Amino acid sequence: MSRQLNFSPPQSFVDSSFFVKLTQLKLDVLKLDQSPRLIYGYYSYKTLGRNQTPSISLNDASFGDIKDFESGLPVNNNLISSGHITVVNTLEEFKDTNKLEYLKHAGQTLYDKIVDHSVLEDPSIFSEFSILSFADLKKYKFYYWFAFPQLNSEWEIISLENEIGTLTIDDTYNQPFGIIKSTGEIVHLKELFDYPKSEMLNVLFIDTSTQTESPSYVLKNFLTALSFYGYESVKVTVYRFNHLDSSFTVTLKNVVPITEVPRISGWERTSQGKLGPKLADLGSLIDPALLADQAIDLNLKLMKWRIAPELDLDLIKNTKCLLLGSGTLGSYIGRALLGWGVRKITFVDNGKVSFSNPVRQPLYNFEDCLNGGKWKAETAAESMKQIFPLVDAQGFNLEVPMAGHPITNESKQKNDFETLHRLIKEHDAIFLLMDSRETRWLPTIMGNVENKIVINAALGFESYLVMRHGCIDPKVDLSEQTENRLGCYFCNDVYAPSDSTTDRTLDQMCTVTRPGVALMASSLAVELLVSILQHPNRQWADHTSSESSTVLGSLPHQLRGFLHNFELLKLSAKNYKHCSACSTAVIEEFATNGWEFVKLALEDSKYIERLTGLDEVHKMSEEADLNFDVVDSEDEFV
């Protein structure tokens, strides 16, 4: 009674790095594409364990080029197999995929390569595999099912010997199959047709299984190919490198020659021996901080799938933001920047958390108010880290020198000036969020001198202003700068900033505003920054509709909102040549004299007006008033 040869079923081992790479691939490359993608796996064949089944391994390098994959393997004792992975978009689709048709397609592909003799040129094709998968990127669960297509043919065992004679294989041999010549020489499988089909064919199979007399399933596919090619009998030496005592030689006879696609099997079984997919749950293995990092990126990268595929998220992520003011606006802007994936956020303030703050400023809580209150900027930075541990958040307690406020401690104020200037140089985008007009003056100058993006947000009781400052062009000489660039926060004023904080009543010392106004202004300020970053001209972009379009839409200069009638206006204004903050006279003087210039502005409230020519504007206005004749209504048409 004839008996058939048994084969060891394949098993898969997928390193966690494979799923991390798959996550990146799904988010950044595949998106909604469900086309099969080429990948690679490997079988170790020189370091086999006892009673081992053929086990294919995959890692993060599986998605790369074949040469990169080979070079990344620890040692040269592996047989590499190619495969394809199909990543569907929903769990329901994963469940509903016709598994029989999926396996048949993989088997048909293998059969076609037997027919066109591709397998003889590349014997690794006999071990090709397919993976059907679904990646639940919100829960970090990966469902996957390996298909190892096996083409079944009928061969009966004529003889089986638990020895391989005097055959020895060189350590450099790295092919799964070979033909053994009568001289003992081993040649490549592509020479197969040099050997008559009527005679016994003597072949070598490098096994990745050490199951007793049960070679790897890959041999089954090879025998099916021999059956299709018309070979009637074959002698197979099953060679196991570090377990020669379990190597054997088997002589087989073809029972029914293959003439068409045979029966196909090959879905991997679970550890319980049942047909079914595997589940890799990485949620419990990944560092929670890294999970948060990936979760933040998830929402952003999903925008690129359908809505905004051209959105440059890396540009946003790598933008370093400086928030001058850590109150209501600073808190909400910090949170919104986190939502856009910004990783470097620095706070500046010189106040402490008071009991009125936590309900309006989400980066503080009740405990921060106790014992006189914690410093706002430092506390805001720590709160950001509690929200997202991987954010690079810092807080600086310093007072911004203000025009019109005389120097009281030059050493300290100069040190604060130098720290502020350094911070502005180190960051890409500056948010002006302070609660007084004169506090915004010096950062406006510094931002322009250093060619930074400057976003200004200011609140009224039921209104708000959000604007981007115009910026001088570093490619054009300062003396040639015109008023064609966009204006800044101070361009509408004909008076230089002065002391507005002395003798203020309680309602003037606090920002009295409807609670929702700060949220609206904060969100618009951040969205304005993101739009600027998507424009090729960045902070030098014009505001006209024909030139200011980005992947996210238009790029306005100013947004003025009014809650009493829920109105939002888009406005623009050119630079004012006598501006106290961004005129060329001010910028040139600051660039030349630095602290000495600032010191003069602090000590003399009229210095800036003389420098910019605003004093002449005032004189001309006064003269115009004196020379203005009121026309009597009765003589108007005489």
- In which band, very low, low, confident or very high, does the pLDDT at 378 lie, cut at 50, 70 and 90? very high
Pairing mode, strands 37-44 and 264-267: unpaired
DSSP 8-state secondary structure symbol assigned to residue 235:
E
Same domain, yes or no: 233 and 329: no
DSSP 118-156: HHHH-GGGGG-EEEEEEEETTTTEEEEEEEEEEE--EEE
Say which residue, 408 or 287, is predicted with more confidence. Answer: 408
Residue 295 lies in a domain: no
How far apart, in whole angstroms, are the C-alpha atoms of residue 169 and residue 150?
27
The continuous run of DSSP H or E covering 137 comes out as none
Is residue 281 within 8 Å of 16, Cβ to Cβ? Answer: no
Q: Which residue in 115, 110, 140, 436 sits closest to 293, CA to CA?
A: 140
User: Which domain covers residue 501, as residue numbers?
Assistant: 312-622
How far apart, in whole angstroms, are the C-alpha atoms of residue 79 and residue 447?
59
Look-up of token digits 């679970």:
270
Last residue of a domain, one of 262, 281, 300: 281
| Single-letter residue type at 124 | S
pLDDT in tens, 28-77: 899 999 999 999 999 998 888 888 999 999 999 999 898 888 888 877 78
| Single-letter residue type at 498 | S
Q: Which residue in 33, 43, 103 sits closest to 78, CA to CA?
A: 43
Half-sphere exposure for 564 (CA within 13 Å, toward CB): 5
How far apart, in whole angstroms, are the C-alpha atoms of residue 121 and residue 189?
7
Same domain, yes or no: 276 and 333: no
How far apart, in whole angstroms, are the C-alpha atoms of residue 352 and residue 326?
10
Question: 175: which residues sit within 8 A by CB, 6+ positions away?
Answer: 123, 188, 189, 206
pLDDT of the residue at 503: 47
How far apart, in whole angstroms, are the C-alpha atoms of residue 455 and residue 470?
10
E strand map for 162-242: 177-180, 186-187, 201-206, 233-239
Q: Residue range 572-578: average pLDDT?
A: 90
pLDDT of the residue at 636: 41
Q: Residue range 530-557: average pLDDT?
A: 86
User: What 3-state class would DSSP assign to 597?
Assistant: helix
Residue 559 lies in a domain: yes
Residue 277 lies in a domain: yes
Four-residue CA torsion sign, 167, 171, 172, 175: positive
The continuous run of DSSP H or E covering 134 comes out as strand 129-136
Same domain, yes or no: 271 and 318: no
Q: Residue range 1-14: average pLDDT?
A: 86
Residue 305 lies in a domain: no
Q: What is the largest CA-CA distance in the chain?
A: 134
User: What 3-state class would DSSP assign to 22?
Assistant: helix
How far apart, in whole angstroms, are the C-alpha atoms of residue 148 and residue 176?
16
471, 488, 491, 510: which one is catalytic?
510
Here the CATH number for the domain that contains residue 617 is 3.40.50.720
Tokens found for residue 126 = 């006999």
Q: Residue range 277-290: average pLDDT?
A: 79
Same domain, yes or no: 381 and 424: yes
How far apart, in whole angstroms, are the C-alpha atoms of residue 136 and residue 134?
6
pTM for the full predicted model:
0.75
pLDDT of the residue at 18: 93
Q: Residue range 89-96: average pLDDT?
A: 96
How far apart, in whole angstroms, are the C-alpha atoms of residue 207 and residue 52?
10
Is residue 459 within 8 Å of 432, Cβ to Cβ? Answer: no
pLDDT in tens, 229-244: 999 999 999 999 888 8
Residue 153 lies in a domain: yes
Here the CATH number for the domain that contains residue 36 is 3.40.140.70
User: What 3-state class would DSSP assign to 422?
Assistant: helix
Residue 301 lies in a domain: no
Same domain, yes or no: 216 and 324: no
Which of 297-301, 324-328, 621-625 has maximum average pLDDT?
Answer: 324-328
Same domain, yes or no: 438 and 517: yes
Q: Which residue in 435, 432, 376, 440 sits closest to 402, CA to CA?
A: 440
Four-residue CA torsion sign, 440, 445, 450, 453: positive
How far apart, in whole angstroms, are the C-alpha atoms of residue 451 and residue 588?
13
Tokens found for residue 273 = 């021996």
User: What 3-state class would DSSP assign to 98?
Assistant: coil
Residue 321 is among the residues annotated as catalytic for this protein: no
Q: Residue range 169-194: average pLDDT?
A: 90
Residue 292 lies in a domain: no
Residue 412 lies in a domain: yes
- In which band, very low, low, confident or very high, does the pLDDT at 92 lie, cut at 50, 70 and 90? very high
pLDDT in tens, 480-500: 777 778 999 999 887 777 766
Q: Which residue in 438, 444, 487 sits closest to 587, CA to CA?
A: 444
What domain count does the chain have?
2
Question: 377: which residues sit within 8 A by CB, 6+ positions away?
Answer: 326, 347, 348, 349, 350, 395, 396, 397
Same domain, yes or no: 124 and 53: yes
Same domain, yes or no: 458 and 333: yes
Same domain, yes or no: 154 and 196: yes
Same domain, yes or no: 444 and 544: yes
Q: Which residue in 132, 152, 127, 151 sits closest to 142, CA to CA?
A: 132
Same domain, yes or no: 376 and 328: yes
Q: Rg for the chain (alpha carbons), in Å? A: 37
Q: Which residue in 324, 326, 321 sits closest to 364, CA to CA?
A: 326
Tell me the CA end-to-end span of the chain in Å, nearest whole number: 134
Q: Residue range 8-20: average pLDDT?
A: 92
- In which band, very low, low, confident or very high, does the pLDDT at 1 lie, cut at 50, 70 and 90? very low
**Burial (Cβ within 10 Å: 0-12, 13-18, ≥19) of residue 493:** middle
pLDDT of the residue at 511: 67
Q: Which residue in 202, 288, 207, 296 sits closest to 246, CA to CA?
A: 207
Taking the mean position of all CA atoms in its chain, how far away is CA 453? 23
Same domain, yes or no: 493 and 352: yes
pLDDT of the residue at 633: 45
